[in-house]
Amino acid sequence: AADCFERGLLSGRHVLINAGPTREALDPVRYLSNYSSGKMGFALAEAAVEAGARVTLVAGPVNLPTPARVKRVDVVSARDMLAACEAALPADLFIASAAVADYRPTECADNKLKKDPGCEDGLTLTLVRNPDILATLADHDQRPRWCVGFAAETDDVLNYAAGKLQRKNLDLIIANDVSQPGIGFNSDDNAVTLIDRQLQQHALPHASKAKLARQIITFIAEHLPGSPD
Ligand code: CTP
Ligand code: CA
Residue 132 Cα to ligand 1 middle (Å): 7
Task: Give yes or no for residue 176 CB within 6 A of ligand 1.
Answer: no
pTM for the whole structure: 0.96
For residue 227, what pLDDT is reported? 75
Indicate if 130 belongs to the active site: no
C-alpha distances out from residue 213 to 40, 46, 95, 152, 203, Å: 7, 8, 11, 16, 13
For residue 199, what pLDDT is reported? 96
For residue 119, what pLDDT is reported? 79
For residue 186, what pLDDT is reported? 74
For residue 51, what pLDDT is reported? 97
Task: Give yes or no for residue 164 CB within 6 A of ligand 1.
Answer: yes
pLDDT under 70 in the chain at which residues?
Answer: 1-2, 228-229
Strand 127-129 to strand 103-105: parallel, antiparallel, or no bridges (unpaired)? antiparallel
For residue 13, what pLDDT is reported? 97
For residue 41, what pLDDT is reported? 98
- Tell me if ipTM is over 0.95: yes
